[in-house]
Amino acid sequence: MGSPWKALSDDSRRGILLLLKDKGMTPTEIAEHFGFTLPALSSHLRILKEADLVTEIKKGQNRFYSLNRRTTSELVRFFDDMYDYNLSSLKEYVENKEGKGRKRK
C-alpha cells in the first residue's frame, strides 16, 4: 500500500479526490474535468488506489472510482486531533491569562 500523504502531495490527485467526494465516476468522466490523457489519469488513479484513497468498482465494461471515506476520514481525524490539541492549548492559555489579569485588580 502506498502512502496517502505522498498521494496527496500532488495538486491533480487532490483535485480528483474533491471531484469524487460526491459520486463515483468513470475515468472518462474524471478526465473531462482535467486536461489529462487517459494514460495520465490512469497513473493518478493507480496511485490513489494504492494509497487506499479511492475504491474501484467494476460494473460490466466500466470501472467506477469513488472516494474511500474510511481512509479519508482517518486523515481528517488526524487533523482534527492536531487542531483540537492546539485549540485546547490556546483556550487554556487564554483562560490562565484572563485569570491572572483579574487577580491584579
How many beta carbons lie within 10 A of that of residue 30, not counting itself? Answer: 19
- Give tens-digit pLDDT for 22-68: 999 999 999 999 988 999 999 999 999 999 999 999 999 999 999 99
Task: Check pLDDT > 80 for residue 20.
Answer: yes
Say whether pLDDT at 105 is over 60: no
> Do residues 48 and 87 both lie within one domain?
no
For the domain that residue 47 is a member of, what is the CATH number? 1.10.10.10
Rounded to the nearest 5 degrees, what angle is found at the Cα of 26, between the Cα atoms of 18 and 52? 55
Q: Which three cell numbers stand for residue 67?
A: 472516494
Contact 54, 67 (CB under 8 A): yes
Q: Into how many domains does the chain fold?
A: 2
17 and 62: one domain?
A: yes
Q: At what angle do helices 38-50 and 11-20 cross, to 10 degrees?
A: 80
- pLDDT greater than 80 at residue 91: no
67: three-class secondary structure by DSSP:
strand
The set of residues, in sequence order, having a beta carbon less than 8 Å from that of 47 and lying 6+ positions away, is: 2, 7, 10, 13
Q: Are 60 and 67 in contact (CB under 8 A)?
A: no
Judgement on whether residues 27 and 53 belong to the same structural domain of the protein? yes
Task: Tell whether 78 and 41 lie within a shared domain.
Answer: no
The 10s digit of each residue's pLDDT in 56-78 is: 999 999 999 999 998 888 888 87
- The whole domain housing 44 covers 1-67
Q: Are residues 3 and 39 in the same domain?
A: yes
One-letter amino acid of 33: H
On whether both 47 and 29 belong to a single domain, the answer is yes
- What is the pTM assigned to this prediction? 0.73
